[in-house]
Each structure stands twice: as C-alpha cells, then as structure tokens.
Structure 1
C-alpha cells in the first residue's frame, strides 16, 4: 500500500507502526519525525498548501488528512481521484481509535495497542496531585491560547491542569491582563517558537508567577508521540510539584 500523509504526527505514527519509506510515499515539509527515515520520503508541500499535482504523480492508494491541519478545499480536490481518510482528533479517546484503526488498516493491531497502552500509562503517571490553573500560549503578537475543544486542552486536563480559558473555543486571542488568575503560564515551543526572552517579558507583568517553556509536540502531536514523552511528563510533574511546596 502506498500512502501519502498530510499530517506530521500521523506520518510519525505510520513509521512507529512499522511502515517504511517504500509505503509512505509522500509527506509535508512539517513531517519531521523520525528524522532518520523521513528524509527519504518526497515532500508534497505544507499542511495548508499541498501540491496536488505532486500527489497525483505518486498515485497513492490512500491519503491521510486531518480536519484542522489541512485545507478542506484541497482535501476535497483529492477525493475525486483517491481514497482519502480525514481524521479529527480532539480527545485522548479519539487518539486511541486513530491508532486502533491505523493498526487494523495496516495489519499492525498489536503494535498499535502497545502504543495506546503506553500513552495511557504515561498520562496516568503524569497526573498532578492537586489541580493547577494554567494558561497555555501558542502565539505572540497577538497572544493566543487554547480553548476546551482542542487536543492540547484535553492533554492538560488529563494530567491535572485546569485551563483558565476552558470557557473559550479553538484558539482565542488574549491580553496579558487575562493571565492574572493563572498559577502557571506555559509558553509552547510551537507553532510560535517561544524563548527565554519571552519569559522575561511576561515576568515584567507577573514577577511571582511560574512561567515556563513547554514542549509543544508533547501536548499537541497526537498519534504515537506521547508514548515517547514519558521522561518529559515525569520531569514536568516534578517541576510543578516543587513549585507547590
């Protein structure tokens, strides 16, 4: 089976489930994991601007897309000629079924189940002892955060954080003043590449708050990625608990 993946985290999952570059024949420029294998797979554009002619030339048996990450019109343009599966991952349960269905489709059921069990185990052991109010920022100029209908929100909730913007949806724009009620301000490493200097900027407003850079991939990459973040979440839990002492 020849597959084109239009979703970075799904591309990673396909490799983790045991596929090779002979089966994964096309990917986006944002598909960066696993680094050693991905370099051999042709790029067919970005997630929002795919090159339809390049995809047609590859003649895939299956194209994997995502409701949020890809452009509806571009995906629909491919549906007339190819089998296209559009995913929509908002919860940990959605992610479970994504891997289960990929496992069934690819004849990798056992491997998919092992990843699912690992993810549930990691999230269970990452859970904080008490609720911590958090704001998770994904963009600057303007500041943008995450609402309750996002995968990031569900991961935060799963490990014991209370998103102070849980009454919002998608990716709302906020101001510095809106962060007053939070215990922790998380600055994601992606899509905006927050750095230490951005921590200092917010410290000038909130000198006593915990402000930290967090691994955006650990919170937003569904598929198999969380299964590789055991140490990261363990260290995050310890860091938050040390803050509470």
Structure 2
C-alpha cells in the first residue's frame, strides 16, 4: 500500500494493534469503530476523553518513548508529516509499517478516511463518514453563498506572534468557514509583528484555542491595540483537526458567521 507521501508499506493482514501518534487521527479511528484495535496514543489524544485511561500513552506528537511503542508490538503506526518529525518516523520504521498522512484540504481528508477504510477493512463506515461530512459542508456553503467575505488574521502562537498563512490545512478551513485569510500572501506559519500591514487590513482577529491556549486576557490585549476590530477566541480543533471532528466544524462555522 501507499500513504499520502506515496511511501510504500506492506501489510500481511488487517492490522489489529494500532499506535496513533496524531490526536485527530486517533479520534477518527474511534469513530470508524476501531477503538478496540488502538493500543497506543499520545498525551494529546483528548477525544474521546476516556481513551488515555484505557490505552498506553507513549509520549507527545514530537517526542515519544520508543521502548513503550516497541513493547506494544504494533501492527501499524499512524503518523502525520506536519505533527510528527522525520527523525521519529525513521526510528519507528524498524518496529512496524508506518502510514504518514499529509493534509492540506478537504480532498486530502477524504482520501485519508478512504485509506483507513481500506487498511482496516471498514470501507462502509469510511464511506458513510465522508458522505456525512460532505452533506454538512454543502448545507453550510449554500447558507453563506451570498455572504460578503471578511478578512481574518488567525493567530496560533504568542512570543513570537505566529499566524496561519497559506499552504496549510487551517488556511483551507478559513476559506471553508467563509472568510478570507489576511496572510494569504505568506507561507505556512510565519512570525509577524503586530504592526504588519496584513494585520492592519484584517476585519477580524481570531485567537486559536490551540496550539497556544489563548484566553480572554489576550482578547483584551488585542482590543487595546486594535479597538476597531472584532477579536474572538476560536476553537482550534474545528479549524485544524482533519478527521471525524469535521462533522462538527460546519455548524460551528455557521454560528461564527452569525
């Protein structure tokens, strides 16, 4: 088989022991009916909440305990190009087949769900999930068809200030939510100054709940500097998780537009 980086990996049988090193993909596995096959997760795999109590926590997304993973004897390890490091993946390849996802848009999300459907023999569940996400998206896009799009600066970090620019999944979801990315002319996650001209031209400033945990005190900080703008903390999971959490994203975007 091939993953989303077109890397080949080989499976003798349907994997029964899964280690997932990506929170959104862990939740996706559960919603595909595969919770019983998960043996290892990260400390950031917070959905569903009980999972970290019943499965072995093997570290984070950037740093892991290799011995813990080896002891679990996984049939497959699920990774992501952006969330996990290249060095980590190279070390894990000695233990089990590795599937690496690479997500930039909804099409990539659907492809990943289809891949999991094939790998874990849950094609029907995967197809149904994709269909349900597509229905949610189509309904929302019809609702906002005539809405004038506002420019958004989407902050993901403080000290240094960092925003989501183009060439990433958050940018795609900003568009899906019916907004324009004020930093579309930049790449990935650039560091910026609060005097940046793109920021000054934004209508809204979104402070993401993750990876940096922006709080109300940060909203007040921005309001003092930008009293004419709308400042809002937004649910980072609904802008950046690319598994089954997408089912919740479009209803959230609907309320955000209001």
TM-score (normalised: structure 2): 0.88
Q: Against the structure 1 CA distance between its residues 140 and 126, is the aligned structure 2 distance closer, same or farther, given a 3 Å change threshold?
A: farther
The 3-state SS of whatever aligns with 1:187 is strand
Tell me the equivalent position of 2:216.
196
Give the CA deviation at 1:231.
Answer: 3.4
User: Hey, what's the Cα distance between the residues in 1 that align with 2:107 and 2:251?
Assistant: 22
1:18 to 3, 9, 33: 33
The yes-or-no answer on 1:182 pairing with 2:202 is: yes
Give the CA deviation at 1:39.
Answer: 2.1
Contact residue 131 and residue 162 of structure 1 kept, 8 A: yes
1:131 to 140, 145, 149: 149
User: Hey, what's the Cα distance between the residues in 1 that align with 2:254 and 2:174?
Assistant: 14
1:215 to 235, 242, 245: 235
Give the CA deviation at 1:230.
Answer: 4.4
What 5-or-longer segments of structure 2 have no aligned partner?
1-15
User: Hey, what's the Cα distance between the residues in 2 that align with 1:234 and 1:102?
Assistant: 29
User: Hey, what's the Cα distance between the residues in 2 that align with 1:121 and 1:132?
Assistant: 24
Report how many aligned residue pairs link the two structures. Answer: 237
User: Hey, what's the Cα distance between the residues in 2 that align with 1:78 and 1:200?
Assistant: 44
Contact residue 147 and residue 166 of structure 1 kept, 8 A: yes
TM-score (normalised: structure 1): 0.93
User: Hey, what's the Cα distance between the residues in 1 that align with 2:136 and 2:153?
Assistant: 22
Give the CA deviation at 1:222.
Answer: 0.7
User: Hey, what's the Cα distance between the residues in 2 that align with 1:122 and 1:208?
Assistant: 33
**1:28-83: CA deviation from partner (whole Å, max 9, x where unpaired):** 10111011344201000111001111111111000000111011111111112311
Q: 5 Å matches for 1:1-245?
A: 1-20=16-35, 22-127=36-141, 128=144, 129-178=147-196, 179-238=199-258
